[in-house]
Amino acid sequence: MKRILITGGAGFIGSHLCDRLLREGNDVICLDNYFTGSKDNIRHLLGNDHFELVRHDVINPYHAEVDEIYNLACPASPPHYQYNPIKTIKTSVMGAINMLGLAKRTKAKILQASTSEVYGDPAIHPQVESYWGNVNPIGIRSCYDEGKRCAETLFMDYHRQNGVRIKIIRIFNTYGPRMNPNDGRVVSNFIVQALKGEDITIYGDGTQTRSFQYVDDLIEAMIRMMATGDDFIGPVNTGNPGEFTMLELAEKVIELTNSTSKIVYCPLPGDDPKQRKPDIALAKEKLDWEPRLKLNEGLRKTIAYFEEKCKRHA
C-alpha cells in the first residue's frame, strides 16, 4: 500500500484519480482549496478509511509523509484561470515549488499535470513533445500557459539539481462526468446549452479544431506514467489524436441530446489556438497507451451525468 498525495484532488480529473487509486488499495490524501474543485466530487469517498480530505492551498507549503505526489492543482478553464490570473500563476509556480520541496524531502515520486497549452497556438501540427511552442507571454491566457511552462522548468531543474524523481505529462482536452457545468469548456458548454434548449455558442467560425479524450483514458495514462522507471521522465502527450472542429462537436451534441438548440457564432477570444491535436507516438511506445473510448460513447456518458445533475437541481 502506497500513501499518495493528490493536489487538486476534489477537481474533475483529481476526483477520478482518487477513485482509481483507492480501488487499487492505496492510502490517498486529497488536497484542495475548492476554488474550482467541489466536495460533491469526492463526497462518496468520505467514509473510506483510506481516504483523507485536507482543505489546503498549494501556494502554501504542506507537510506529510508520502510515497507519490500527483500535482494537479490549478484552475484549467479560461473563465476560471482568467478570473484571478495572479492567483493562477502563483498556483502553478509556487505550487510546483512547494510540492517539489515535499518530494525532495520525502524522496517521493512526483507527477506534474502539465497541459497542451504549453504549445500555445502551435505552428506545427500535430504537436510533438519536442516542439517548444508558440506562446504569447503577455496575453490574457499567459497566466495559465506560462505558469504551466514554468512549472515544467521547475520540475526539470529539481530533477537535475536535486535528483527528484519526476514525471511530466501534457494533458490535451479532457471531458467526462464531474466537469463543472459553468467552467466555460467547450464540451460542458455545449452539453448544458443543448439540454436547456439554449443557443449553442461557437466562438469564431467553428473551423478551429480540438481533440477530446475521455477522463478514464487520461487516468489510465497517468497511472502508467507514474509506474514507469526513473529513466523516463517525459514530457509525454496524453490526449486523443481524433480531431474535430467546433462545429462538428456542436452537431454531435445536438444529435445525442435530441436538442432543439440552434448554433450561433460569437467573436473568437484572444490567443485562442486554431488547431490542437496530440502526437501520441511517445505514449504508445513508453506507456503502451492510447485512448480507447470513442467520442460518441464518451459524450453519451457525459450527457447522462449532466442530465442527472439537472434533475437533482430542478
* Annotated catalytic residue 158: no
For 258, the grid coordinates are 435530441
Say which of 144, 158, 175, 214 is annotated catalytic.
Answer: 144
CB count within 10 Å of CB 162 equals: 11
Cα angle for residues 176, 179, 182 (degrees, 5° grid):
140
For 294, the grid coordinates are 470513442
Residues forming the active site:
144
